[in-house]
Structure 1
Amino acid sequence: MFANQMNQNGFLLQPGQGTSYWVLGDLYTFKTVSKDTNGTYSLMEMIVYPQTGSPPHIHSREDESFFVQSGEIQFQIDGQTLVATPGTFIYSPRGQRHLFTNKSNQPAQMLCWVTPAGLEQFFMEIGTPADDPTAPPPPVTDADIRHTIALAPQYGLTILPPDSAIN
């Protein structure tokens, strides 16, 4: 079972619980997935390590919301750059070009809601199960990047070239 059962309509996860994957150098811990919410949303806790993040991309199927819990994460959303600090909430609707990067020298942590659910399957497919979430992140290889770009269209994602971001 993905979560500790609370009752027939819900569940409880304690701190540190969830299914974790290394995704392009970052740690994604899934707190809910599609089957937990009847497909309405998924929620992941993300640890974004220094000098990592997402490539510029556009979702055609889902909206994303981010809540920064610790550290600083730079977002670029439709050409606008902002630095998100703890307590910052960002909503990015489907169709909006965006990316995020941790430009600091400390890990940052945020929650990411994806509505509707399903995108977690993409992250699980491109990621590697994190048997030890306290270990250093594995290096990102060219093969990882090629696999991500090749698989993205199956999930309604358009990965854009890095130069499409406005710095």
Structure 2
Amino acid sequence: MSNSALPPDDPGRDLVQVRPDGPGLVHLAIAGGTYTVLVSGDQTAGRYCLIDMRVPPGGGPPPHRHDFEEMFTVLDGAVEFTFRGTPVVARAGETVNIPANAPHFFRNRSDQPARLLCMCTPAGQDEYFRRVGDQVDGPDSPPPPLSAEEQDERGQRAARLAGEYRTELLVP
């Protein structure tokens, strides 16, 4: 008999080990970059998701906010995060945490690609990205060429689904 306040181990959950270029991962063209879902909410019982973001010069999402925590670790390059209207640059090796509900966005303002790890807790952003992005072959795949109409459709889809994923896009 245990006196632990912790629930028992759940043997139905497995260890998750991935490589960013490993088989079976979902790679998505989003916001000008390629995002790879490394660990999905399905694999963590919804507790969090982990996304590898490769962001080209000029890439990044529009201003937005959501009711979940989002943490970024810059692996390569530098990215400018704008948090509540104030920009701050994060460089390789640095971590930025965005509190729930705070308006923010990021942009790669350099002339070099950047790479970030993004953890969202709880999960859900991974599923949102799957629904609004275009699947590509691998982490270094360029986004598909889209016509102006296709780009507009992606933006409308992102806006239409945002509320379902506890997100508000802050664009006119």
TM-score, length-normalised on structure 1?
Answer: 0.86
Supply the AA of the counterpart residue of 1:36: Q
Q: Which one has the largest radius of gyration?
A: 2
Question: Using a 3 Å threshold, how does the CA distance of structure 1 residues 93 and 104 change in structure 2: closer, same or farther?
Answer: same
Task: Decide whether the 8 Å contact of 1:25 with 1:139 is kept in 2.
Answer: no
Q: Which residue number corresponds to residue 161 of structure 2?
A: 151
- 2:133 counterpart of 1:123: no
Give the Cα–Cα distance (whole angstroms) in 2 for the partners of residues 82 and 139 of structure 1: 31
CA RMSD of aligned residues (A): 1.8
Q: Which runs of 5 or more structure 1 residues have no equivalent in the other structure? A: 1-7, 163-167
Give the Cα–Cα distance (whole angstroms) in 2 for the partners of residues 10 and 24 of structure 1: 31
Residues paired across the two proteins, number: 155
Q: Which residue number corresponds to residue 30 of structure 2?
A: 23
DSSP-derived class of the 1:90 partner: strand
Question: Per-residue CA shift, 1:81-140, capped at 9, x if unaligned?
Answer: 111110110111111110000111211000000000112111000011112443322346
Q: Please give the residue correspondences for 1:1-167 in structure 2 after superposition, counting only pairs within 5 Å.
A: 9-17=14-22, 18-60=25-67, 62-139=68-145, 141-161=151-171
Give the Cα–Cα distance (whole angstroms) in 2 for the partners of residues 9 and 150 of structure 1: 34
TM-score, length-normalised on structure 2?
Answer: 0.84
Supply the AA of the counterpart residue of 1:39: G
Runs of 4+ in 1 over 4 A off after TM superposition: none
Supply the AA of the counterpart residue of 2:31: L
Q: Which runs of 5 or more structure 2 residues have no equivalent in the other structure? A: 1-12
Question: Using a 3 Å threshold, how does the CA distance of structure 1 residues 28 and 15 change in structure 2: closer, same or farther?
Answer: closer
Give the Cα–Cα distance (whole angstroms) in 1 for the partners of residues 133 and 108 of structure 2: 19
DSSP-derived class of the 1:10 partner: coil
1:9: how far off? 3.2
DSSP-derived class of the 2:80 partner: strand
Task: Give the % identical residues.
Answer: 34
